[in-house]
Amino acid sequence: MKIFFDGGLRPLPAGMEFAVVAAGRSHIERGLGPGTSMAAEWLALIAALRLANQLDLADAVLLGDAAAVIAQANGIIKVPRAHHAHHAAYLALPRPPRFRLRHIKRTQNLAGIALEKG
């Protein structure tokens, strides 16, 4: 199953937000307080993996448009110190037996579209 994820940042008091889309359903969290766009992307990735586990998927493809976060999570580039806790939280979660994390274009990201519309 494909699970799309995207994080965003709005002016305070709203702050960080994210969306996760799976099986045609959008899961949106807003008003997460201050942070950075990269922190919001990490929160979205963690939420997407949690959803994959809740759905008890045997095959999950997580798709996002945050190239840096995906590269960090896949171990391709170093995780900045500011995001070590996010990375640790991501690594601590179980993975479906068949798991992939991939980068897609912003225009293909259904979660990003859901954030814009909502």
What pLDDT, in 10s, does the model give residues 48-87?
999 999 999 999 999 999 999 999 999 999 999 999 999 9
Here the CATH number for the domain that contains residue 38 is 3.30.420.10
Residue whose entry in the numeric block shows the structure tokens 């940042």: 9
Residue whose entry in the numeric block shows the structure tokens 């179980």: 94
> Given this model, what pLDDT does residue 2 score?
98
Domain that holds residue 31: 2-117
CA–CA distance, 47 with 102 (Å, rounded to integer):
15
CA–CA distance, 103 with 109 (Å, rounded to integer):
9
Q: How many angstroms separate the first and last alpha carbons of the chain? A: 23
* Total domains, the chain: 1
Indicate the pairing of strand 59-64 with strand 25-29: unpaired
Query: Would you state the structure tokens that stand for residue 18, as one six-digit string?
Result: 């994210």
pLDDT in tens, 6-59: 999 999 888 999 999 999 999 999 999 999 999 999 999 999 999 999 999 999
Q: Print burial letters for 32-43: b (CB count within 10 Å at least 16), e (below 16).
A: beeeeebbbbbb
Query: Would you state the structure tokens that stand for residue 104, as one six-digit string?
Result: 């897609």
